[in-house]
Chains A and B, each alone.
Chain A
Amino acid sequence: MTPVTRDPGTATTPRADGATWRSITPGPAELDPRGYARRRGLVERGLAILAPVVLIGLWQLLASGGTLESNYFPAPTTIAASWGELIESGVYQESVVASVQRIVIGYLAGSLSAVVLGLLIGSVRLLRVALEPTIAALYTVPKLAILPLLLLIFGLGETSKILLVALTCFFVVLINTIDAVSGVSPRYGDVGRSSGASRWATLRHITLPAALPQTITGMRIASGLAVIVIVGAEFVAADAGLGFLVWNSWNLGVPEHMYVGIVSISVIGVIASMLLRGLEWLLTPWNR
Chain B
Amino acid sequence: MSPLPADGAAEAGVKIAVRKVGKVFPAGTGSVQALADISLEVRDGEFLCLLGPSGCGKTTLLRVMAQLERPSSGVIEMRHDDPSRPLSAVVFQDYSVFPWKTIRDNVIFPLLQTGMRKAEARRVADHWLAQLDLGGFERAYPDTVSGGMKQRVAIARALAVQPELLLMDEPLAALDAQLRLLLQEKLLELWQAHQNTVVFVTHSIDEALLLGDRIAVMSARPGRIATVIDVPFARPRHPDEIRASPDFAALRDEIWHRLRRELQPA
Closest chain B residue, CB of each to CB of A185 = B95
Interface residues of A in 44-101 (CB under 8 A from B): none
Q: Taking the complex as formed, is A157 at the interface, i.e. its CB lies under 8 A from any CB of chain B?
A: no
Chain A interface residue count, Cβ-Cβ cutoff 8 angstroms: 20
Judge whether B100 and A209 touch: CB under 8 Å: yes
Judge whether B114 and A196 touch: CB under 8 Å: yes
B100 / chain A contacts, CB cutoff of 8 Å: 209-210, 212, 284, 286
Q: Taking the complex as formed, is B109 at the interface, i.e. its CB lies under 8 A from any CB of chain A?
A: yes
Give the complex CA separation of A286 and B144 in angstroms: 9
Closest chain B residue, CB of each to CB of A210 = B100
Give the complex CA separation of A57 and B82 in angstroms: 79
Give the complex CA separation of A212 and B99 in angstroms: 12
A195 / chain B contacts, CB cutoff of 8 Å: 89, 109-110, 113, 161
A188 / chain B contacts, CB cutoff of 8 Å: 96, 98
Q: Taking the complex as formed, is A30 at the interface, i.e. its CB lies under 8 A from any CB of chain B?
A: no
A191 / chain B contacts, CB cutoff of 8 Å: 90, 92, 96, 98, 110
Q: Which of A205, A285, A286 contacts B109 (CB 8 A)?
A: A205
How close is A13's CB to chain B, nearest CB, in angstroms? 40
Q: Taking the complex as formed, is B233 at the interface, i.e. its CB lies under 8 A from any CB of chain A?
A: no
A197 / chain B contacts, CB cutoff of 8 Å: 109-110, 113
B86 / chain A contacts, CB cutoff of 8 Å: 196
Give the complex CA separation of A185 and B109 in angstroms: 18
Q: Mark B108-120, 1 if CB is under 8 A from A, else 0.
A: 0110111000000
Judge whether A190 and B143 touch: CB under 8 Å: no
Closest chain B residue, CB of each to CB of A285 = B141
Judge whether B96 and A190 touch: CB under 8 Å: yes
Closest chain A residue, CB of each to CB of B94 = A187
Q: Taking the complex as formed, is B151 at the interface, i.e. its CB lies under 8 A from any CB of chain A?
A: no
Q: Mark A207-229, 1 if CB is under 8 A from B, else 0.
A: 00110100000000000000000
A193 / chain B contacts, CB cutoff of 8 Å: 67-68
Q: Taking the complex as formed, is A194 at the interface, i.e. its CB lies under 8 A from any CB of chain B?
A: yes
A185 / chain B contacts, CB cutoff of 8 Å: 95
Q: Mark A180-191, 1 if CB is under 8 A from B, else 0.
A: 000001011011
Q: Taking the complex as formed, is B64 at the interface, i.e. its CB lies under 8 A from any CB of chain A?
A: no
B99 / chain A contacts, CB cutoff of 8 Å: 286
Give the complex CA separation of A188 and B86 in angstroms: 19
Closest chain B residue, CB of each to CB of A189 = B68
Q: Mark A237-272, 1 if CB is under 8 A from B, else 0.
A: 000000000000000000000000000000000000
Q: Taking the complex as formed, is A105 at the interface, i.e. its CB lies under 8 A from any CB of chain B?
A: no
B40 / chain A contacts, CB cutoff of 8 Å: none
Closest chain B residue, CB of each to CB of A197 = B113
Q: Taking the complex as formed, is B187 at the interface, i.e. its CB lies under 8 A from any CB of chain A?
A: no
B143 / chain A contacts, CB cutoff of 8 Å: 286
How close is B93's CB to chain A, nearest CB, in angstroms? 9
Q: Taking the complex as formed, is B226 at the interface, i.e. its CB lies under 8 A from any CB of chain A?
A: no
Give the complex CA separation of A201 and B98 in angstroms: 14
How close is A78's CB to chain B, nearest CB, in angstroms? 52
Closest chain B residue, CB of each to CB of A212 = B100
Give the complex CA separation of A197 and B111 in angstroms: 10
Extra 4 A-B pairs, beta carbons < 8 Å, given A201-B112, A209-B98: A205-B109, A210-B98, A286-B141, A286-B143
**24 CB < 8 A contacts A-B:** A187-B92, A187-B95, A188-B96, A190-B90, A190-B96, A191-B90, A191-B98, A191-B110, A194-B68, A194-B90, A195-B89, A195-B109, A195-B113, A201-B113, A205-B101, A206-B98, A209-B98, A209-B101, A210-B98, A212-B100, A284-B100, A286-B101, A286-B141, A286-B143
Q: Which 5 A-B pairs have the closest CB atoms?
A: A195-B110, A209-B100, A286-B141, A194-B90, A195-B113
